[in-house]
Structure 1
Amino acid sequence: MCGICGWIDHRHDLGADEHARTLAAMNETMACRGPDQQGVWAEGPAALCHRRLAVIDVEGGRQPMSLDDDGEPALHIVYSGETYNFRELREQLAAAGHRFRTASDTEVVLRAHREWGRRDPRDVARRLNGMFAYALWDTATQELVLVRDRLGIKPLYYLPTPHGVLFGSEPKAILANPLADRTVDADGLRRALVFVADPSNAVFRGMREVPPGCIVRIGRSGDSGYGGCSGCREERYWQLADTGHTDDVDTTVGHVRELLEDTVERQLYSDVSLCTLLSGGLDSSALTALAARHVPEPVRSFAVDFAGHADNFTADDVRGTPDTPYVHEVAKWVGTDHRDIVLRTEDLMDPAARAATLHARDLPAGIGDMDTSLYLLFRAVRQESTVALSGESADEVFGGYRDFHDADTIAADTFPWLAGRMLNQDQRDPGLFDQALWRALDVPGYVEDQYRAALAEVPELTGPAADDPHERRMREVCYLYLTRFLPVLLDRKDRMSMAVGLEVRVPFCDHRLVEYVFGTPWAHKTFDGREKSLLRHATTDLLPESVVQRVKSPYPSTQDAGYETSLRERVTAILNEGDDAPVAPLVDRAAVRARLDAPAGRTPMGERMQLERMVDLNTWIRDLDVTLAV
């Protein structure tokens, strides 16, 4: 795991002293992602910067890394993430004559490009099993290649410029270069306000994400590409496809177990301390139990909790049970070395913690305590471990959310999470935003366009299930969650963990597992009449019966009335700033005051998120010096 950034500019020699300060500033923004080491390579039109979190080959894996001792033109790389099959690839490359200087996976990826990627870099990306984002500079072709993993676990952004490109693991690295501006136009604001992943729109004007499963090639000349970047081309190397699934239920369950066993064993490889994140749900509990089968010592596990939460918990439409009793039962059942991270309202409202959370995300997400608590959990975990395994993405892969199983939500002609209980966001309702602004932004139209574009990508269902309208719709729903919802969650987890230098691995995102389960008929995924049937039956022998039967409960949110009181006080303070508040031009102050005048206590989650977003937007605009062009 690491942070990467860089700059290609064919007008200048970026190795000259005059550019050193800019490169250092870009790299410094990635310090939290890579607290162990830093490095810069700059020569001619190219500069690559790296901040390292040392996980594999602590001494030998320093970057930027160069391959220039084999008589061929040099290749230079900055790499973030993990390639879990690097040992197998290393053996293949050694058999082909490569001699390695390090034990790192980065050198394996670098040499793989020399061996297999000369004609098409996608041939290398297709061989990699892992979570990764990296940049490769070829001195012979003067081409930069940006590569991102299949599911978008690791982030990678780029900004085309008139004479090259800027790139980085996070927008803040790009924004540290004077060639980038901090303008957010109407398109960017729409993207910031809607809970839908869109790699083509990275909020800041002109900036893009490398889409999951894609590479971006930036050459010196050629046809004008994205953003007017000469020779800038996005090329896909992976996408979800119909696999023509023919396995029966028992065979499918057995293969899911085999894939999970192999994936977890691969992802336990580390030269530093490792733990699991345990919520007491099926996903994280299964991973923790699987991990325990492959390590000699008790697995270290961590869970987040709120002071008094379990004792005073009230079930609602989204969360039926508190996590803590199940966490403790699993920890005892598996025999983990467990620790609860218990947070108070003062912790969640601490200005420094909230500022660090928002700075890490680069985006006013508006989910408040659920972001801050994750940041504080990871900060505490990092004091004892450097790597953690997480159950993220199991719900998207196996169909775990309640919205997957609600007929009205499934029938809604929009993104299910916007229509269902989880978010229940009516895009026609401006909420606390200025109504004229909302009409000008046309948020409903933006959502509609995004939805239709996503549906057009869904691979056609084949086989006997193709004649079943419900199977066809569930194929669409699964695709939407995997490609437009999951990337938002993965980005959140990456940003919160890397803000404290913690590497979080997500075994349920193994592309082999995702491909296999995506191709499985919905009838298989719900064969026992429940959510996540395949995962439950694949791991039932590992877990206590209470966890096997537990209904999905999303990531916890505090129910402390004191939190809402503190949030309302923060919003009131912003209102009292009047026109001086950065968020003032965006909100309907009368609507905000009416919300504040309403009785406090157990405000619906959607309404509380609107207050959270107002606070986040105000801080985001001020602290990032954002210019709004709407």
Structure 2
Amino acid sequence: MCGLIGWVDTQRNLSTEKHIMEKMTNTLSKRGPDSSGVYSSLHVLLGHRRLTVVDPEGGGQPMIKVIGDNTFVIIYNGELYNTSEIRGKLKDRGYTFKSYSDTEVLLTAYIEWGEECVKHFNGIFAFGIWDENHQKLFTARDPLGVKPLFYTQKGSSFIFGSELKALLAHPDVNPIIDSEGILEIFGLGPGRTPGNGVFKGINEVPPGHCLSFVEGKMRIREYWKLESKIHTDDLDTTVEKVRALFVDAVERQLVSDVPVCTFLSGGLDSSAISAVAANYFRNKGLGDLNTYSIDYQGNDKYFKADSFQPDADARYIDIMSKHIQSNHHDIVLNNAELAAALKQAVKASDLPGMADIDSSLYLFCREVRKDATVAVSGECADEIFGGYPWFREPELINSDTFPWSRAVKERKSILSMNYSNLPLEDYVNSRYMETLSDVPRLEGEGAEEHRMREIFYLNMKWFMVTLLNRKDRMSMGNSLEVRVPFADYRIVEYAFNIPWSYKYCDNIEKGLLRRALKGILPDEVLYRRKSPYPKTHNPAYLRIVQNWMRIILSDPTSPILQLINEQAVSEIVETGGVSFGKPWFGQLMKGPQLIAYLIQIDTWMREYNVEVR
């Protein structure tokens, strides 16, 4: 993976501003530690930082390709998993290639098919292509939003890049939030409205969208969207197709010129990926697969099972690592380091995130990166096949808001008097209703089945993107590329129309996926109940974040104080989050994580000199 940044202004000579582009590009050094480059022309500057994964010699960027009298330049972050197929089609059309990189294939695909090139790609990507003759910029983001792409317009300038920090390094882009930014942070955070960059005037290309900028005008459109169709396959056929799609997706994503590993939690999804990967390694003579898991000091003593986390991971990790004969590595984090890394996580995300759910992943990826450059992970299976409680529990299914973020009134209660009149509840509700209005309807579908379709759509457009954002920033903040096979658009398109009765077959969450994985996993793992990403249960962590937040509250210069009801937040701190009453977000962001989220807001405002207007 890589980092990209671009600046287009057809009303201005940018060739004299290369020093600014170099500064912006260097903010992305963690995304691309191996090399950097800048393309300069009269009206465009393109910067790139590279993490070398495929074709070390031939894949450098910005990459230039001259066809006739026209020059095309690309900056690209991602991986194509059908590179050879596309290259074959392009060779049949007379194109030649100087490298075996997917970068040159992607650029050539645009030269041949124009904006329709995105319909040929299977992969995770964000890119910008400059057409010199037509003075046109074309950018696009992958269907599920695995790779980020932000942008802003300042006068006649259009600026775009992989991360907010790169845009903020431009002298005309300032770290300002207005009422909408406050509503995003306190009403929806750590989620974000699709396309919203939180900072005033900064947006994000939504997943499955492409954007063009020509003659000072921007046009954005959706090139990929889910469609509702009648599912005609019977259950056995559906199981076979899911299995075939999954295995193919995993194997496509194991191609690399650098070391590849997998994350292994002992849960269904990561175990399945690790099993397929280990088998692929054996068949290709690549040796034993390296697998990695995360845990926390004291969890063996303090973990308590509940309906959300029915058991700990360790026993199942051991079963799986022995079953696939992997070279397994346990990474155990201490709680002081976990809390301290809240700051690092904010600087990796450029926004408040999922508290220690982020910082733990940041530290985990830091350790994995010592041995590997590419990892494969199990995100997206729960959103696609129905693994969360809100797919099964009637109260959550029939919630009148996002079922993973129901504490809307409680969220508003912690805003200061100056912002207590902000329409937080209306803002959240409007985002929820806008998403429901986008759900594709299937003629003749019953109310209950359509509601389940809505729940899946909400998860894919909101909850899943939040987790993908987290995985991208925490991994790339450590120069580690993480691939997510369940985000293969073919799996998503097929699964979206599978009826709930199939997905929940055998009366267990992800029953369909379990059937598809029979024979790949040992039964103990295959039928293990869903357990979420592990978090610390050590009371020492709660004490650390309580003390940190007390310091913030007692410091009159703390920037968060202008936004919060100090008495309400103090009560949250002193009760360990009990006074808030509900989880802040998802299954994991409860008491200690809520306090840590508030710490991250304050840290973000300090580190980025955020101005509230």
Bin of the TM-score, shorter chain as denominator length: over 0.9
Corresponding residue for residue 206 of structure 1 = 201
Cα separation, partners in 2 of 1:406 and 1:62, compared to 1, 3 Å? same
Secondary structure of the 2:125 match is strand
Corresponding residue for residue 6 of structure 1 = 6
Partner AA of 1:303 in structure 2: S
Corresponding residue for residue 590 of structure 2 = 606
Q: Report if the CA contact (8 A) 1:146-1:215 is conserved.
A: yes
Alignment of 1:95-106 (within 5 A): 95-106=92-103
**1:52 CA drift (Å):** 0.2
Question: Of 400, 405, 411, which aligns to 1:413?
Answer: 400
Cα separation, partners in 2 of 1:593 and 1:428, compared to 1, 3 Å? closer
Alignment of 1:395-434 (within 5 A): 395-419=382-406, 425-434=407-416
Question: Of 262, 269, 276, which aligns to 2:262?
Answer: 276
Secondary structure of the 2:408 match is coil
Say whether 1:161 aligns with 2:154: yes
**1:213 CA drift (Å):** 0.7
Corresponding residue for residue 595 of structure 1 = 572
Q: Report if the CA contact (8 A) 2:342-2:596 is conserved.
A: no
Alignment of 1:46-61 (within 5 A): 46-61=44-59
Corresponding residue for residue 586 of structure 2 = none
Q: Report if the CA contact (8 A) 2:577-2:590 is conserved.
A: no
Corresponding residue for residue 356 of structure 2 = 369
Q: Report if the CA contact (8 A) 1:387-1:504 is conserved.
A: yes
Secondary structure of the 2:592 match is helix
CA distance in 1, matches of 2:374, 2:161: 22
Cα separation, partners in 2 of 1:53 and 1:602, compared to 1, 3 Å? farther
Q: Report if the CA contact (8 A) 1:378-1:500 is conserved.
A: yes
Cα separation, partners in 2 of 1:240 and 1:427, compared to 1, 3 Å? farther
CA distance in 2, matches of 1:192, 1:61: 38
Partner AA of 1:231 in structure 2: K
Say whether 1:181 aligns with 2:159: no
Stretch of structure 1 that moved more, 511-520 or 428-437:
428-437
Corresponding residue for residue 346 of structure 2 = 358
Question: Of 410, 421, 428, which aligns to 1:447?
Answer: 428
Say whether 1:115 aligns with 2:102: no
User: Unaligned regions of 5+ residues in structure 1, if any?
Assistant: 221-229, 420-424
Say whether 1:381 aligns with 2:364: no
**1:429 CA drift (Å):** 4.2
Q: Report if the CA contact (8 A) 1:3-1:34 is conserved.
A: yes
Q: Deviations over 1:36-83 (max 9, x none)?
A: 010000101111100000000011100000111x31311110000001
Question: Of 298, 323, 331, which aligns to 1:308?
Answer: 298
CA distance in 1, matches of 2:397, 2:319: 34
**1:519 CA drift (Å):** 1.1
CA distance in 1, matches of 2:555, 2:499: 55
Corresponding residue for residue 330 of structure 1 = 320
CA distance in 2, matches of 1:97, 1:215: 27
**1:427 CA drift (Å):** 3.7
**1:592 CA drift (Å):** 2.7
Secondary structure of the 2:79 match is strand
**1:452 CA drift (Å):** 0.8
Say whether 1:583 aligns with 2:560: yes
**1:311 CA drift (Å):** 4.1
Q: Deviations over 1:491-527 (max 9, x none)?
A: 0100000000000000000000000000111111112
CA distance in 2, matches of 1:600, 1:244: 45
CA distance in 2, matches of 1:243, 1:14: 49
CA distance in 1, matches of 2:450, 2:176: 41
Q: Report if the CA contact (8 A) 1:559-1:602 is conserved.
A: no
Q: Report if the CA contact (8 A) 2:272-2:517 is conserved.
A: yes
Say whether 1:622 aligns with 2:606: yes
Cα separation, partners in 2 of 1:32 and 1:268, compared to 1, 3 Å? same
Corresponding residue for residue 295 of structure 1 = 281
CA distance in 2, matches of 1:266, 1:545: 26
CA distance in 1, matches of 2:472, 2:297: 26
**1:29 CA drift (Å):** 0.7
**1:432 CA drift (Å):** 3.4
**1:14 CA drift (Å):** 1.6
Partner AA of 1:305 in structure 2: D
Q: Deviations over 1:428-473 (max 9, x none)?
A: 5435332551x3222111111001100111011246xx1x221110
**1:589 CA drift (Å):** 1.6
Q: Deviations over 1:206-236 (max 9, x none)?
A: 111111111011111xxxxxxxxx4101111
Cα separation, partners in 2 of 1:601 and 1:231, compared to 1, 3 Å? closer
Q: Report if the CA contact (8 A) 1:197-1:485 is conserved.
A: no
User: Unaligned regions of 5+ residues in structure 2, if any?
Assistant: 584-588
Q: Report if the CA contact (8 A) 1:158-1:209 is conserved.
A: yes
**Alignment TM-score, normalising by the size of structure 2:** 0.95
Q: Report if the CA contact (8 A) 1:213-1:239 is conserved.
A: yes
Quote the sequence identity (%): 41
Q: Report if the CA contact (8 A) 1:310-1:324 is conserved.
A: no
Cα separation, partners in 2 of 1:456 and 1:601, compared to 1, 3 Å? closer
CA distance in 2, matches of 1:102, 1:258: 31
Stretch of structure 1 that moved more, 41-50 or 301-310:
301-310
CA distance in 2, matches of 1:12, 1:201: 28
CA distance in 2, matches of 1:431, 1:549: 41
**1:108 CA drift (Å):** 0.3
Secondary structure of the 1:540 match is coil
Secondary structure of the 2:144 match is coil
Corresponding residue for residue 454 of structure 2 = 476
Q: Report if the CA contact (8 A) 1:199-1:208 is conserved.
A: no
Partner AA of 2:463 in structure 1: F
Secondary structure of the 1:550 match is coil
**1:245 CA drift (Å):** 1.1
Say whether 1:234 aligns with 2:205: no
Corresponding residue for residue 85 of structure 2 = 88
Partner AA of 2:563 in structure 1: L
Secondary structure of the 2:137 match is strand
CA distance in 2, matches of 1:533, 1:72: 57
Aligned residues: 600
Partner AA of 2:141 in structure 1: R
Q: Report if the CA contact (8 A) 2:2-2:51 is conserved.
A: yes
Q: Report if the CA contact (8 A) 1:214-1:238 is conserved.
A: yes
Secondary structure of the 2:316 match is helix
CA distance in 1, matches of 2:73, 2:442: 42
Corresponding residue for residue 523 of structure 2 = 545
Secondary structure of the 2:281 match is coil
Cα separation, partners in 2 of 1:599 and 1:30, compared to 1, 3 Å? closer
Secondary structure of the 1:112 match is helix
Secondary structure of the 2:312 match is coil
Q: Deviations over 1:86-108 (max 9, x none)?
A: 11111111111111111100000
Partner AA of 1:189 in structure 2: I
Secondary structure of the 1:418 match is coil
CA distance in 1, matches of 2:524, 2:578: 31
Corresponding residue for residue 133 of structure 1 = 126
Cα separation, partners in 2 of 1:435 and 1:609, compared to 1, 3 Å? farther
Partner AA of 1:253 in structure 2: V
CA distance in 2, matches of 1:392, 1:24: 34
